[in-house]
Structure 1
Amino acid sequence: MHIYADADALPGPIKEILCRAAVRLGLRLTLVANKTLQIPPSPLIATIRVGQGFDVVDAAIVKLVSPGDLVITADIPLAALVIEKDAHALNPRGELYTKDNIQGRLAMRNLLYELRSGGVTTGGPPPFHNRDKEAFANQLDIFLTRHANQ
């Protein structure tokens, strides 16, 4: 299994958790972003810097991901594409996207997008809190316990 992270907007604590987990479990981690990232020295951890532009990071991740891989992203359309490739998607707040829930999440995201396009203020995501970091760490641990050796 390879872990990919949509790292442009990835909270620092989540990046740290991912790096520690990769080293601890001997898993490959690739952080994909359109900016330079600082990572700890490890042969298991890499970065890919892509150009600027709409969905450039997403396209790179979709091209790289294989069945069984894990992608960390808050981008619901990217999560849907990853799931179509029989990979897994986990958001930085600890929600695992699945074949059972991704279509509903995508429909809600599209509805909110349409409302915002029509001038309705829908707000953004809530601030990232410690409880989000803990939820992510717990869900990542559960996921890796079940899937790391596959």
Structure 2
Amino acid sequence: MPTLYVDADACPVKQEAARVAERHGLVIVYVSNGGLRPSRDPMVRHVVVPGTADAADDWIVENAEAGDVAITADVPLAARLVEREVHVLGPTGRAFTPASIGMDVAMRNLKQDLREAGEIKGYNAGFTARDRSDFLQALDRTVRRAMKESKD
């Protein structure tokens, strides 16, 4: 069975991910620098990493295996996970895939350069109910695919 990893710092869909994991009987692992309420559910694990840069990312990459599912908005982390054949979704339900990750990284770097040059502001669009719905549908599809692949 695949494991569901959540890059939990500032993740807006933690509860939705938990519902999907519970529905499919998956272990869910929240990885953060702290501040999450522990759960008594044995299928929910919390990993608290040091507050250093990329500590949560590094922990997820070291522990996720091919066929697992991960949720992150962090494009460099997504690239590292896609390389390890992990199914990766952003919090809006957008999949990071081997076919798309090169462009995702390039766009992220371009936007960072433009923000640093003052050409664009660093504001992200607000998270909407539609984003939440799209995420739930995409996560359910992805988990089903990962579970099917793990049986093959």
TM-score (norm 2): 0.92
CA deviation digits over 1:70-108, x for unaligned, max 9?
110000000000011111110000101100001001000
Report deviation, 1:37. Answer: 0.8
Q: Percent identity?
A: 36
Count of aligned pairs between the two proteins:
148
Superposed CA RMSD in Å reads 1.2
Structure 2 residue 34 is matched with structure 1 residue 35: yes
For the Cα contact (< 8 Å) 2:30–2:47, is it kept in 1?
A: yes
For the Cα contact (< 8 Å) 2:68–2:146, is it kept in 1?
A: no
Q: Which runs of structure 2 are paired with 1:121-140 in the superposition (5 Å)?
A: 121-140=120-139
Distance 2:128 2:83 in 1: 30
Q: Which runs of structure 2 are paired with 1:16-55 in the superposition (5 Å)?
A: 16-55=15-54
CA deviation digits over 1:6-29, x for unaligned, max 9?
000111xx1111112222211010
For 1:15, the equivalent position in structure 2 comes to 14
Which segments of structure 1 move beyond 4 Å, counting only runs of 4 or more? none
For 2:60, the equivalent position in structure 1 comes to 61
Instruction: Quickly say closer, same or farther: Cα 1:8–1:78, change in 2 above 3 A.
Output: same
SS of aligned partner of 1:42: coil
Report deviation, 1:46. Answer: 0.5
